[in-house]
Amino acid sequence: SSQFGLKGLVFERANCRRGVGHKAMGLFDDVKVAPVDPILGIERAFQADSDPRKINLGVGAYRSEDGKPFVLQVVKEAEQEMLSELGSTINKEYSTIDGPAELKALTQRLVFGEDSEAVKGDRVASVQSLSGTGSLRVAAEFIKTHMQPEAHEIWISDPTWANHPAIFQKAGLTVKTYPYYAQETRALNFAGMMRALREEAKPGSVILLHACAHNPTGVDPSEEQWQEIASVMKERRLIPLIDSAYQGYASGNLERDAYAVRLFVKLGFEFYMCQSFAKNLGLYGERIGMLHVVCNTADQASAVLSQLKMVIRPMYSSPPIHGAHLVKKILGNEARFAAWKKELAGMADRILEVRSLLRKGLEEKGTPGTWNHITDQIGMFSFTGLTPPQCERLISEHHIYLTKFGRISLAGLNKANIKYMVECVDEAVRALPPTASKL
């Protein structure tokens, strides 16, 4: 011990106190088990439940009328074509850092429109990303690295998708919230949102906006409200970061669901647009998305693209190719693109039908409360207004799995289980009225 001085002696004595055979401290002994993700926890509980009546309203993925995962016909056709070309025009080589040029052109036209001046003027810097989550993270890293300090503050809606805060915080951005949902009316808190944009958000800060089918509320601004939002943001020099995960799936119309995005282009904004194909093409596991950055000039877009690639290179090097090929073969084929629009409309119509059946069932049953918000909302999700105790009762007593704050994925409902859903919601609301739960 004298060879190593006092520190060595202390270490040696500490080992002696442990005794012969005492297990040495492991490298990972202090790593604690992370809390279960709420949404993934719902899925796990649902899978473990053996009751035949069980319903999963937690996971945000489309289901067919018989409750099964759904693969679009246009995706099946594109897969078959890809298989026939494997080894000739399609291989398994690395993609470029930013993804295929053809993919960029097709996805730009989809979201910004065929006649977009920004696209025609080469003012959009685009990179393929790991679905919507990846595009948000790349945008956040770019903002933190290259934008002025005032842009390091991002405002997100309250509530928003559960993963949004962590994505921006991990990139080192300061996350603040603006009012969005009014619990008492179960509608948009437009006045509160506008007050935050006018009075609280500092010029130069970033505002996260949902392009359509707001997650988790299903409450979207009207076109007139979008115009007012854009006007205030222009006046206050606020930077839009638009998250578009449901284009075409919200209303069944690709053009209508792109209204907000195209409005910001028309008004001359520079902004970030995060695009996902998980929901509207059902490519959840392919992790295929895009990040588009709209700039003032083509030279600026070129510079931004070069720096986006510098963000991606040490993060994941290059994007996966399979999903990129699928999207190219669907968006780039006129007949297949038309068929996709019909399938999209069919998916959206099924969700709209389920909304109507759920509202009608609750109203005909005389379930306490108002239920018009179910059909007023849009997209995959509904903010039901059910209280946490009511939600817990639906889970424990009726095997209906949903988030504790009352968000349901309507894709989990169909004609076979809607009656059971109505009966169980009615029972839970009557057994635990809001006053009894102190909410």
Active site (catalytic) residues: 161, 243, 279
Q: How far, in Å, are 35, 165, 270, 305 from residue 95 at the CA level?
A: 35, 30, 28, 16
The separation between CA 173 and the C-alpha centre of its own chain, rounded to angstroms, equals: 19
What does the block give as tokens for 291? Answer: 């990040």
Crossing angle for the helix pair 322-331 and 101-112, nearest 10 degrees? 50
Strands (E), 71-186: 124-130, 153-158, 174-179, 181-182
- CB contact burial 222-236 (16+ within 10 A = b; e otherwise): eeeebeebbebbeeb
CA distance 132 to 80: 26
CA angle 94, 300, 233 (to 5 degrees): 110
Cβ pair 139, 132 in contact under 8 A: no
The separation between CA 322 and the C-alpha centre of its own chain, rounded to angstroms, equals: 21
DSSP 8-class letter at 35: P
Cβ pair 292, 273 in contact under 8 A: yes
Closest CA to 202 of 251, 169, 253, 153: 153
